[in-house]
Amino acid sequence: MKKLTLTFITTVFFIPLIFVPTTVLSGGHEAPKEWKGEGTKIEFESMPTLNVKDFLNGKVLEKTETISGTLNFPANAPNKNVPVVVVMHGMGGISIWEEHWLKTLNSIGLATFMVDSNWGRRNCKKIFKKTVKGLWCADVNQGMNRIIDGYRALELLSKHSRIDPARIGCLGISLGAKGCLYLNVKRFQKMWGTPGIEFAASVPLYAPCDVRFKEDDEIGDTPIRIHVGELDTYFPVDSCVNYVDLLRSKGKDVEIKVYPGAHHGFDADPSSIFRGKTKMVIGGYNAGRCYFEENTDLTEEQLGKNFAQQITQVGFNEFLATATEREKKKLFKYMKSGNKRGYNNPFVIFDESCVSNSTTIAYDKNAANEATKLVKDFFISTFAL
C-alpha cells in the first residue's frame, strides 16, 4: 500500500515555474510593476484566468481579458515579411531570463513579441479569493492561460503588415515554455486556437512535462526543440524525455537537449536579483518530482460540489482499487473541505514519497552558451535567415 497523503492547496503544490526571486529574498511581496521594454506595446483580447479544469473542458467565458505584448523589430528590419518569435514568460513575469532571449533573438534579425500574461490579470484574486500563489493565481491556472495567449498572439501577428505569417515562432520560459509546448496539441488548438494558422517553430525552455494530458500525443507538424537541465527540481526531467520519445515515435519533428549538471533557469545569470549569487535554493513544499495525468473520472460525490480537480497523481486509480474505505474517506473528506471553501487546486496527490522541501534555480555558463547557440541555429535554419 502506498503512503496516503492528504495534499491540498493549503500545503500547496509547488508550481514548476520561474518567478522573480527578489520577493523571496525580501521576505515579502513587492508591488507588481508593468514591464516596459523596448518596442511597441499592443493590447489584445484573451481569456481571463481560468482554472485548469475549465481550460481542459474548453469553458469559454462571456467576458474577455485585455492583455498586451511588446513588439520589437531589430535594427534595419525590412518593411515587410519579417519573421517574429512570440516570447512567453514564467510565473513571476518578465525578468532577466526573458530579456536575455529578447536580445538574443533580435541580434539574429528576428522581431520579438514579448507577451505579458500577468499584468492584465493582476486582479485575479477578486475571482479566486482562495488563491495561494498571490497576484497571478498561478496555483489556479498552472500556466494553461499561456496556451490561449500564444494562440491570440499568433492570430494578431499573422495580420500585421510587417510580419511574415509563415515565420512566426514561439519561445517560452518555464510556465511560458509549458504554453509553447502544449499549444501544439491538436485538442487545445481546436478548443482555443484559430483554424488554419499554427506556429512555425517552438522552443520550450525547461517546460514542465509532469502532466500527461488526454490526447497530448496528437500534435501538429511544428518543429519543437526542448531544452532542460539534468538537475531540474521543478519537474521530473525524464517526463520530458519520455514525452519527446512518444512524439518522435509518431514521426514528429521534436528533439530535446538535456544539459548535464544544469538546474532550472540555467540560461541567464540571476546574480543581479540574487544579491550577487548565481544560485538560489528555495525552501518549501515541492511536488516537482511527482508524475500526474488528466483524470476525467473524478466525481462530485468524491470531491464535493464545484470541485476543481481534474489532474491526479499517476497511479491514483490503482490506489483507489486497493485503499481501505477509511483511507479513501479521509482523502476525499480533505478535498471536499477545500473545495467547499473555494480553493481551485487542480491536483490530487495520494503518495508524498516524490515530494521534497526545496527547489533550485541556478545559472550554468556552459549550458547557457550552448543553449543560446542551438536556439539561434534552430531559428536561423527554420526561418531561412
Contacting residues for 176 by C-beta, under 8 A, at least 6 apart: 87, 88, 89, 90, 98, 115, 117, 143, 146
pTM, two decimal places: 0.92
Contacting residues for 275 by C-beta, under 8 A, at least 6 apart: 25
Closest CA relative to residue 291, chosen from 359, 360, 349: 349
In sequence order, the β-bridge partners of residue 37 are none
Lowest mean pLDDT among 18-27, 70-79, 212-221, 323-332: 18-27
Res 30: pLDDT? 52
Contacting residues for 183 by C-beta, under 8 A, at least 6 apart: 146, 147, 150, 151, 170, 189, 193, 199, 202
Q: Across residues 73-82, what is the average pLDDT?
A: 95
24-27-33-38 Cα dihedral, nearest 10 degrees: -40
Q: Which amino acid is at 204?
A: P
Closest CA relative to residue 363, chosen from 239, 226, 206: 206
Ramachandran region of residue 196, left (φ > 0), alpha (ψ -120 to 50) or beta? left
Task: Name the one residue in this structure whose C-alpha cell is 506595446.
Answer: 41
Res 6: pLDDT? 37
| pLDDT tens digits, 98-148 | 999 999 999 999 999 999 999 999 999 888 988 887 788 989 999 999 999
Q: How many residues does the chain have?
A: 385
Contact indicator for 65, 99 with CB cutoff of 8 Å: no
Q: Across residues 46-61, what is the average pLDDT?
A: 96
Q: Across residues 199-203, what is the average pLDDT?
A: 98
Res 9: pLDDT? 30
Whole-number percent of the chain with pLDDT over 90:
84
Higher pLDDT, 46 or 12: 46
What kind of architecture, by CATH, is found in domain 34-275+364-382? 3-Layer(aba) Sandwich (3.40)
CA dist 49 and 65 (Å) reads 8
In sequence order, the β-bridge partners of residue 112 are 72, 85
Degrees (nearest 5) of the Cα angle 8, 13, 16?
A: 165
Res 244: pLDDT? 98
Inform me whether the pLDDT recorded for 69 exceeds 90: yes
pLDDT band (50, 70, 90) for residue 92: confident
pLDDT band (50, 70, 90) for residue 33: confident
Task: Name the one residue in this structure whose C-alpha cell is 514519497.
Answer: 353
Res 20: pLDDT? 34
Taking CA atoms, 137 is separated from 50, 113, 127, 130, 327, in Å, by 9, 23, 10, 9, 30
Res 132: pLDDT? 82
Whole-number percent of the chain with pLDDT over 70:
92
| SS3 state of residue 78 | coil
Locate 35 and state its grid cell.
514591464
Res 15: pLDDT? 35
Res 285: pLDDT? 87
Higher pLDDT, 3 or 377: 377
Q: What is the mean pLDDT of the chain?
A: 91
Inform me whether the pLDDT recorded for 200 exceeds 80: yes
Res 292: pLDDT? 98
CA dist 277 and 291 (Å) reads 31
Res 31: pLDDT? 60
Locate 319 and state its grid cell.
490506489
Q: Across residues 38-50, what is the average pLDDT?
A: 97
Q: What are the helix (H) ranges across the chain?
A: 22-26, 52-56, 96-107, 138-141, 145-158, 175-182, 186-192, 237-249, 300-303, 316-322, 325-341, 365-382
CA dist 103 and 88 (Å) reads 14
Locate 276 and state its grid cell.
550577487
Res 5: pLDDT? 40
